[in-house]
């Protein structure tokens, strides 16, 4: 029986023969010289080879059990995706490159459902930027893209960049392997291999480049797109909820009677993405409150967030987080923590979490007048957050920080339409200004809703204003 490697080798030699891979001196699109040139467009002229490529991709990828649709990166990979679709019977969607110029034309053609898992197909990967463009259009429509299968990985940094964006790349061939096959068959000599190897080493794409381009600025990316960029699972879930419920409103349920908390959760549930509590202010607290609260959260699809602001030494935080009557870790998917005591707080939470999906919001700035937090503290808090990418869901702050880390969520409290401040130092901004000027992703509204005669009407109003501001921000 012919092994997979033998099939791959025979295929590689065919690619060389039809001049889809050439060695020599070539000028790239941007004017640089390269000793290797790949032009896979030519495969369309060789239907048998195209068929073999589709077979190899399908065999290499293995099971398509979790894949609902496939999409080729335009244009070269379109016919490749078509062949894979026909052979695997997995439906395909097609991305238009030119739709933006025509205005109303659909970007994605074909049948799909929100939440579908899409496998991206590409011919050659250098930086991964073409894949990311395709993924962006798909995720904007609610399609999930976490995997791509490609014919050739040029090994110039694309895999890392895709990984940074939450996408796993499966490559049939690397340039190294392709050259190995061709050398064994005497299609190329050692000197060429050496030259290409030096070239790969000297032309690595900086993985931070793609995160620093303006299109990756978190304020210009949709919440749906950011679902794929979140490293913390609760942040990913929250992005998804925000996108599907079309709300970036968090209510601060600062009420002191259990039934009032439950009533509020029921009333505002349809309009919020997060229900934020201070569980230790409830006068008649009994653990029996937690089950119905979780049930309401599940039914209305919002996340429970205990604003505990952990700030002690690690050991004490470990106990405060999972012991005592509140048992915070058992029900609150999100909690807040201060960075003042450093790593210990985060290590304690991380270790107590176990297998549950949990996330932390670190406080980098506050809405309180006269706060002692200064710029250095804010900066150091962000540096601390970077060290715990899987644990930190976001940052509580008052200004647009961490613009190049779109996987994190900015939560901004101090939002109200009626008042500018209270008598204890709280300072308020309008819903529009927190989203458009202060960089908030999620806005926290407490008394603006809880003190209203009809909390559900107030919540709907804040929800609409906040979402309109977010939509406006995306169009900027």
Active-site residue numbers? Answer: 307, 309, 312
Known binding-site residues for substrate equal: 254, 276, 367, 426, 446-447
Does 254 contact ligand 6AU by CB under 6 A? yes
Q: Should residue 444 be labelled a site residue for ligand 6AU when binding is judged by CB under 6 A? A: yes
At its nearest, how many Å lie between ligand 6AU and the CB of residue 227? 23
Residue 445's region, left for phi above 0, alpha for psi from -120 to 50, else beta, is beta
First to last CA, the chain: 58
In terms of CB distance, is 138 or 363 closer to ligand 6AU? Answer: 363
Cβ-count burial of 444 within 10 angstroms (0-12 exposed, 13-18 middle, 19+ buried)? Answer: buried
Within 174-193, the residues that bind ligand 6AU by CB under 6 A are none
Of the pair 85, 426, the CB lying nearest ligand 6AU is at: 426
Q: Inter-axis angle of helices 314-322 and 343-353, to 10 degrees?
A: 40
Q: Is 429 in the site for ligand 6AU (CB under 6 A)?
A: no
Q: Output Rg (C-alpha) for the chain, integer angstroms.
A: 26
Residues of the binding site: 254, 276, 367, 426, 446-447
Stretch that binds ligand 6AU, among 190-198, 220-228, 345-353, 363-371 (CB under 6 A): 363-371
Sheet bearing 117-125, strands edge to edge: 108-109, 92-95, 69-72, 117-125, 144-153, 168-174
**Cα(311)–Cα(59) distance, integer angstroms:** 53
Residue (164 or 416) nearer to ligand 6AU, CB: 416
d(CA 472, CA 394): 22
Rule CB under 6 A: say whether 366 interacts with ligand 6AU.
yes
Q: Which is nearer to ligand 6AU, 23 or 326 (CB)?
A: 326
Rounded Cα distance between 206 and 75, Å, is 25
Q: How far is CA 247 from CA 209, 370, 386, 394, 396, in A?
A: 31, 31, 27, 17, 18
Rounded Cα distance between 412 and 19, Å, is: 56
Q: Of the ranges 121-129, 207-215, 360-368, 376-384, which one interacts with ligand 6AU (CB under 6 A)? A: 360-368
Residue nearest to ligand 6AU (CB): 446
Output the smallest distance, CB 248 to ligand 6AU, in A: 14
| Binds ligand 6AU (CB under 6 A): choice among 49, 124, 138, 252 | 252
Q: Which stretch binds ligand 6AU (CB under 6 A): 14-22, 159-167, 296-304, 366-374?
A: 366-374
Residue 307 interacting with ligand 6AU (CB under 6 A): yes
Token pair in block for residue 360:
């932390």
Binding to ligand 6AU (CB under 6 A): which residues in 86-145? none
Interaction with ligand 6AU in 321-340: which residues (CB under 6 A)? 336
CA dist., res. 166 & res. 160, Å (int): 10
Per-residue binding letters, 135-164, with ligand 6AU (x by CB under 6 A): ------------------------------
Round to whole Å and give the CA distance between 435 and 469.
Answer: 6
Indicate whether 446 belongs to the interface with ligand 6AU (CB under 6 A). Answer: yes
Per-state percent for the chain, helix, strand, coil, to nearest 5: 45, 20, 35
Contact present, 237 and 303 (Cβ < 8 Å): yes
Report how far residue 245's alpha carbon sits from residue 274's, in angstroms, rounded to the nearest whole number: 11
In whole angstroms, the minimum distance from the beta carbon of 276 to ligand 6AU comes to 6
- Beta strands at 33-38 and 21-27: parallel, antiparallel or unpaired: antiparallel
Task: Report CA-CA distances (Å) from 39 to 20, 33, 240.
Answer: 5, 15, 38
Q: What's the distance, CA 80 to chain centroid? A: 27
Per rule CB under 6 A, is residue 377 in the interface with ligand 6AU? no
What is the distance between the alpha carbons of residues 124 and 26, in angstroms, rounded to a whole number?
16
Q: Does an H or E element contain 348, and which? A: helix 343-353
Footprint of ligand 6AU on 273-302 (CB under 6 A) = 278
**The pair of three-digit structure tokens given for residue 241, joined into one six-digit string:** 């909820």
Binding mask 45-84 for ligand 6AU (x = CB under 6 A): ----------------------------------------
Residue ranges of the alpha helices (H) in 66-154? 77-88, 99-102, 129-139
**Binding status of residue 367 toward ligand 6AU by CB under 6 A:** yes
**Which of residues 159 and 253 has its CB atom nearest to ligand 6AU in the complex?**
253
Among 447, 456, 457, 460, binds ligand 6AU (CB under 6 A): 447
Nearer to ligand 6AU, 157 or 446 (CB): 446
| Residue nearer to ligand 6AU on the CB measure, 141 or 368 | 368
- Of 146-154, 159-167, 347-355, 444-452, which segment contacts ligand 6AU by CB under 6 A? 444-452
The mark string for 407-426 relative to ligand 6AU (x by CB under 6 A, - otherwise) is: ------xx-x---------x
- CB closer to ligand 6AU out of 201 and 419: 419
Task: Return residues touching ligand 6AU (CB under 6 A).
Answer: 252, 254, 278, 307, 336, 363, 366-368, 396, 413-414, 416, 426, 444-448
């Amino acid at each position: 029986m012919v092994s997979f490697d033998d099939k791959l080798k025979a295929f590689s030699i065919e690619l060389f023969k039809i001049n889809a891979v050439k060695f020599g001196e070539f000028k790239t699109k941007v004017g640089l010289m390269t000793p290797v040139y790949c032009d896979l467009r030519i495969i369309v002229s060789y239907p048998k080879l195209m068929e073999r490529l589709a077979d190899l991709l399908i065999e290499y990828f293995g099971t398509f059990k979790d894949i609902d649709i496939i999409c080729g990166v335009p244009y070269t990979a379109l016919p490749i995706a078509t062949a894979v679709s026909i052979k695997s019977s997995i439906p395909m969607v097609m991305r238009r490159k030119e739709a933006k110029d025509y205005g109303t034309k659909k970007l994605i053609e074909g049948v799909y459902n929100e939440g579908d898992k899409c496998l991206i197909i590409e011919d050659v990967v250098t930086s991964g930027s073409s894949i990311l463009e395709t993924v962006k259009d798909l995720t904007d429509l609610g399609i999930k893209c976490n995997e791509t299968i490609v014919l050739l990985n040029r090994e110039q940094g694309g895999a890392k960049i895709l990984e940074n964006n939450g996408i796993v790349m499966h490559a049939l061939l690397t340039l190294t392997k392709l050259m190995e096959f061709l050398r064994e068959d005497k299609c190329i000599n050692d000197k060429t291999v050496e030259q290409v190897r030096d070239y790969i080493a000297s032309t690595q794409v900086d993985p931070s480049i793609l995160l620093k381009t303006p299109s990756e600025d978190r304020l210009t990316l949709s919440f749906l797109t950011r679902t794929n960029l979140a490293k913390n699972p609760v942040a990913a879930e929250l992005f998804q909820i925000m996108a599907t419920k079309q709300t970036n409103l968090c209510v601060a349920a600062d009420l002191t009677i259990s039934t009032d908390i439950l009533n509020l959760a029921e009333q505002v549930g349809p309009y919020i993405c997060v229900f934020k509590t201070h569980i230790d202010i409830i006068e008649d607290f009994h653990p029996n409150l937690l089950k119905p609260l979780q049930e309401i959260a599940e039914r209305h699809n919002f996340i429970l967030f205990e604003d505990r602001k952990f700030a002690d030494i690690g050991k004490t935080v470990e106990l405060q987080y999972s012991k005592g009557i509140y048992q915070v870790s058992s029900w609150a998917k999100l909690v807040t923590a201060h960075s003042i005591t450093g790593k210990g707080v985060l290590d304690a939470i991380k270790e107590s979490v176990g297998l549950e999906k949990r996330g932390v919001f670190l406080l980098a700035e506050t809405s309180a007048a006269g706060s002692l937090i200064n710029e250095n503290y804010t900066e150091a808090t962000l540096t601390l957050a970077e060290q715990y990418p899987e644990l930190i869901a976001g940052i509580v702050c008052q200004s647009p920080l961490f613009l190049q880390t779109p996987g994190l969520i900015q939560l901004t409290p101090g939002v109200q339409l009626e008042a500018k401040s209270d008598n204890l130092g709280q300072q308020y901004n309008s819903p529009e200004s927190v989203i458009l000027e202060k960089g908030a992703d999620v806005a926290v509204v407490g008394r603006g809703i809880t003190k209203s005669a009809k909390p559900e009407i107030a919540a709907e109003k804040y929800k609409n204003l906040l979402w309109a501001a977010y939509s406006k921000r995306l169009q900027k």
